[in-house]
Amino acid sequence: MDQRVATDTDVLIIGAGPTGLYAAYYAGFRGLRVAVVDSLPELGGQITAMYPEKAILDVAGFPTVKGKALVEGLVAQASSAHPTYHLDRTARSLEHHGDSVTIGLDDGTEISAGAVIITAGIGKFSPRPLPAGDGWLGRGLEFFVPSFQPYVDKDVVIVGGGDSAFDWALHLEPVARSVALVHRRDAFRAHARTVQAVRDSSVDIITRAQVTELRGDGTLEEVEISVDGVEPVRRPAQALVAALGFVADLGPLQEWGIEVEKRHVVVSPSMQTSLPRVFAAGDITEYAGKVRLIAVGFGEAATAVNNAAVAIDPDAHVFPGHSSEGT
């Protein structure tokens, strides 16, 4: 493939989720040119791909905000930086050239930047399969719930015990005919507040159980649920959501020589990785006391950008002044 060299930029951000979008805005606030790369075709990362209707409760200033509304606001905010977006493309290679870093994309494009900020979340992700669901995807089985409308007046079964399973159960309960949540253990990984909200709803929680068979003529009509110590039961279901988590893959990034610990990039207090001029922020980072929240990612993005600004221009200051100060 012939290589095409993109216009040089000051900061290249790898990952266009909430942390990456905020980093793009903040780079513009620092007067830096910015480009953003993401392997997904749309801005917003996992929120756009999986949770656009989810109510997010831990973003400062918003008692509650839907995922898609948060992304829309972040995109509008980032637009002030006039970022160049390279979507549906994967960062493949990294090379240092003195005072710059060159990132090669999978379409042959090369982008030279004064600093790189990795905000790739969990990296590329694919849903964990439901063993009994082979061949049913798109025929009643789904892994994500980007819209609630297709579930109106349907019997829905959700498999899983994490935040996604409970969030979707809570949001689908008002629109579906019935909702059952099936989990193989008595304990749940979801936030205690959300678990209690589901317990207080009409959702039927079935524990120590697994969906062992899907049945229907062309499309899903019912499922078989096996419960420990009890005969399998059949339950009507026109929709089944397998919320079993994801298999994450950092991909080529692992070949760049960056220090990685348990599929996360190790960073210093300045968000510097083990490579010069390469920073990271958001869920992909690892350090003592790390908490993986969107709110934390925003602060890390600002820290990464401010320190990247000094890496690009040693005469710059890490602290840029407050955005509320006069210009």
Binding residues: 19, 38, 46, 51, 91, 125, 283, 324
As annotated, the binding site for FAD includes: 19, 38, 46, 51, 91, 125, 283, 324
Contact present, 136 and 51 (Cβ < 8 Å)? no
Burial category of 101 from C-beta neighbours within 10 Å (exposed 0-12, middle 13-18, buried 19 and up): buried
DSSP class of residue 264? E
Q: Residue 23: enclosing H or E segment and its boundaries?
A: helix 18-29
* 264 CB-near residues (< 8 Å, 6+ apart): 283, 284, 285, 286, 290
* Closest by Cα among 47, 217, 211 to 144: 47
Q: Are strands 209-215 and 222-227 parallel, antiparallel or unpaired?
A: antiparallel
Q: How many CB atoms lie within 10 A of CB 41?
A: 10
Report the run of H or E that residue 100 belongs to, with start and end. strand 100-105
Kindly provide the b/e burial profile for residues 148-181, where b requires at least 16 CB atoms within 10 angstroms of the residue's own CB.
Answer: eeebeebbbbbbbbbbbbbbbbbbbbeebebbbb
